[in-house]
Amino acid sequence: YPVAHSLSPGMHEIIYSILGLDWVYIKKEISPDKLEDFIESIKIDKKIRGFNLTIPHKEAVISLLDEVDEQALQIGAVNTVLKTDAGLKGFNTDWMGFLSDITALLGGPPANKTTLLIGCGGAGLSVLEALSYSNFSTGGESDVYLYDIDRNKAEMVASIPRMNLNLHPINKEDLEETLSLADLLVNASPLGMKEGDFFPLKISPSNMKAGLSVYDLVYNRKTELLKNAEELNLKALGGLGMLAGQGLEAFKIWYGKNLEESKLLSIKTAMVEYLKKEVGRDD
């Protein structure tokens, strides 16, 4: 809210077209004071299978739902709601989108990876959930170093225990030393969205661990961080795949049927190509 800029309808229309579904995805602008009325209207509308939410509704909707998925509760935000016979169930697919994309980049799950995470807002919490889930699923454990321009935010996030993660808040002056320990560097902050944004860390052969991989959640442009990583021939990826992935995961929740991995991959590829055109990416 507002949702005029949302790319979700176009992404979902691609899915429906490829699968031959007579489904429609529409944008609806709901002011915060009308959220509860909207939820009640959804419950009695038999044509609606589910819906997505964006800021500021992701947190506020939780108390209005009948059930909330464990990961969404851990993150503290819902972006996808499924209508069931029992009522409305909330999910968070942002972490799923990140996990899918980072797994593709690394060639395997991001378990047992010492990680430096820049940004401890909602996007950062989704990254932590993905790392926690990956370690829990494989019996792994990771150290995650948390940096945020607001030190209090990093400390608050670190104070909440997360399964199979050891969380360490750090200061700006610790970034270079911490990078030398990291297998994975993730930017979950808005830094890089605008040309000229100053990223607080420059990667160089002298301050990085061999085999470092880089993921930047920013998707509207190739950021200076990604350019830096590519100059050093590191595995590096921007956030377009995560954006497509979270949309695809939302669809899978609503669809409720299994799809072949090859079909899912072709759908996601088409979604990423659509997103590139929409945000003006030609790299």
Among all residues, which ones are annotated catalytic?
A: 58
- C-alpha distance from residue 143 to each of 53, 115, 272 (Å): 31, 6, 31
Inter-residue contact 231 to 212 (CB < 8 Å):
no
N residues, the chain? 283
Q: How many CB atoms lie within 10 A of CB 276?
A: 14
Buried b (16+ CB within 10 A) or exposed e, 208-238: beeebbbbbbbbbbbbbbbebbeeeebebbb
Q: Quick check: 145 and 178 in contact, CB under 8 A?
A: yes
Q: Specify the 3-state DSSP secondary structure of 87.
A: strand
For residues 121 and 153, the answer to whether their CB atoms sit within 8 Å is: yes
For the chain, the straight-line distance linking the first and the last C-alpha, in angstroms and rounded, comes to 30
